[in-house]
Amino acid sequence: MSGSTRLPFLDPEPWRVAVMAPTGRYARNQVAGMFEAGTPLSGGVALGRGGTTMNGLPLYDRIEDIPERPNIAVIYAPAEGVLDAVAACAAAHLPTIMAVAEYVPVHDALAAAALAREAGSWLIGPNTLGIFVPGRGLLGSIAPSFCKAGRVALIVRSGTLALAMARQLTLAGIGQRIVAHIGGDSVIGRNPHEYLQALADDEATSAVLFCGEIGGDKEYAFAEAARSFPKPVYAMVVGRHAPAQKQMGHAGALIGSAREGAAAKLEALAAGGCRIVKGPEEAVAALSELGND
């Protein structure tokens, strides 16, 4: 597993963050939150607004115009503009790309994911609240006040649960290496097992908590990756009591067969060596036994 992949936003190189399409109301609020969290924003890309500023953020017409080359891009383009924005970031070979929008068409998400992979970029999302790395900064809208620095990597498919779980861990004194909402759609840039593989050699991570959910088959690849993971992996699956054939919340949470239900996924995760926890309280209790070293 060693050297299989890496999370570029955890590299020692300082962050230089570009914001694509930063001028909408939602994006403006997000930019303000990232500034407040200490995220180093290099500039925003807004065609026709180059040479101006927005609340302290210098604006440029193209990503190539930003004087200090970014290594991260956060995209606030609407769903129909995500593919073009990801393509521009991939063409610039940015190591980390994050697409926030919901309702990205599946064929666009597939194309965006392929373009990012071909460029060697790590695509987070679509449909993500983002990433928070204590001590480094915020990408998106994970509440920094819900988090604290530590050694547990939190990998979550549900945005709501990402916030709730980070908050519960912090209240219990359990710090996080990263809090990652990887994206709630059925097609996302990088899947849960890839995050796990990338953390295998991360010396700052001592344990992983994965919060999966019903729908799709992402938990099965995660279970296989967990077999050779050298650190404790705790896993839970949200939606244990959801009825079959009923969509719960978003496109990634639809049970199409027994294999996509919680029971089968929990069985696979346990077989892969994950320590199964039934919910947030049990997860906190189990991780508390590890200590905070």
The helix/strand/coil state of 101 is coil
Strand partners, 138: 132
Establish whether 250 is a catalytic residue. yes
The strand ranges marked E within the chain are 17-20, 41-45, 53-54, 57-60, 72-75, 96-99, 122-124, 130-133, 137-140, 149-156, 176-181, 207-213, 233-238, 275-276
Classify residue 199 by its DSSP letter.
T
Cα(89)–Cα(97) distance, integer angstroms: 7
Q: Residues 189, 99: contact at Cβ < 8 Å?
A: yes
Q: Residues 4, 200: contact at Cβ < 8 Å?
A: yes
The total of other beta-carbon atoms located within 10 Å of residue 281's CB is: 11
Tell me the two tokens of residue 12: 């020692």
The helix/strand/coil state of 254 is strand
Cα(133)–Cα(144) distance, integer angstroms: 9
Half-sphere exposure of 190 (CA within 13 A, CB side): 29
Strand partners, 152: 176, 207
Give the N- to C-terminal CA distance of the chain in Å, as an integer. Answer: 24
β 130-133/137-140 pair status: antiparallel
- The catalytic residue positions are 250
